[in-house]
Amino acid sequence: MTTPFTYLEPAGLADASRLARQEGAMLKAGGIDLLDEMKEGLVAPEKVVRLSALKGMDRIEVKNGKLRIGALVTLATVAAHKQVREHARILAAAAGQAATPQIRNAATVGGNLCQRPRCWYYRHEDFPCRKKGGDQCFAETGENRYHAIFAADGPCHIVHPSALGTALAALGGQILVFDGQKSRSVAVEQFFALPSVDVTRENVLQPGEIIEAVEIPSAKGKKSAYHKQRERLAADWPLAEVAVVYEVKNGAADGVRLVLGHAAPIPWRCPTAESYLSGKKIDAGAAAEAARLAMAAAAPLAQNEYKVPLFTVLIARALMAAEKGEPA
């Protein structure tokens, strides 16, 4: 059940930032996650600041070798856009496989990056977990089959739900954040925050800060792949995601970026596997060894040990798909 709130229409991005700093205010773009949290009794904003009418934040353009995507671009547009498919095909794939067509037509890039966790203990108002100011993580001894297998020593075991975050991290993307006066650029990997840093937050945004756009160096000509595994083919949250991007120099992999989604509270880089692949021709043997190395530090909970072999297979498949140039 939701409570009454005031709907605010900002005159521009600076005005939206000002309004968002007011007590009891929350931002709304597509509104997918905000409405969910309101219905679940997790938030009760006194003021809702509408972002969807802001001009200039729904554009996609390529300039100086970078793909820029406004924060209000919908996932459906990202998935279908010619320039995204050309310069960041795994981002188009991630957007196109997220949720349902109806949600993709409303959900935005900024909202996807800022959405809250889908952990059932967090989402249930009767479980005062650490993320909501409580003193325990119920997943540690409860139902945890969909939870994290990395960063297991932290106070919270969520997996971050953003499909775009996984792909953007592999692409080396930057997030442009507006603070009310100026914009700053934050690497995707620095945007997401581990629970050990602040258990109540998933990113570094401060009150009044708004995602303006994302920028991605063109991956045109690079090898890349995005693989996702769900329990069912119908719309469902992933069990595992893998995104990989690299160049080929002198017949060998260079600049490998291998990122896992739904493995940790943040998009999870695999530096040991990346280092192993650097300078190697990627074949089935190298892909299998990289997958093994990527999983070496996994620390599954009681019910999610299955994720280790699942990711092992998915990583190897993604690497081979990228090497063969198969569709993302």
Residue 310 Cα distances to 69, 70, 315, angstroms = 32, 34, 9
Q: Which fold has domain 1-53?
A: 3.30.43
Determine the pLDDT at residue 86: 98
Q: Which fold has domain 223-324?
A: Enolase-like; domain 1 (3.30.390)
Q: Do residues 114 and 120 touch, judged by C-beta distance below 8 A?
A: no
Determine the pLDDT at residue 1: 58
Nearest CA to 98 among 19, 164, 142? Answer: 164
Instruction: List the domain boundaries for the chain.
Output: 1-53, 223-324
Determine the pLDDT at residue 182: 97
The packing angle between helices 307-324 and 284-295, to 10°, is 140
pLDDT in tens, 65-78: 999 999 999 999 99
Determine the pLDDT at residue 177: 99
Determine the pLDDT at residue 102: 97
pLDDT in tens, 250-280: 999 999 999 999 999 999 999 999 999 999 9
Cβ atoms within 10 A of the Cβ of 65, count? 9
288/229 Cα distance (integer angstroms): 18
Determine the pLDDT at residue 327: 84
Q: Which residue ranges of the chain lie beneath pLDDT 50?
A: none
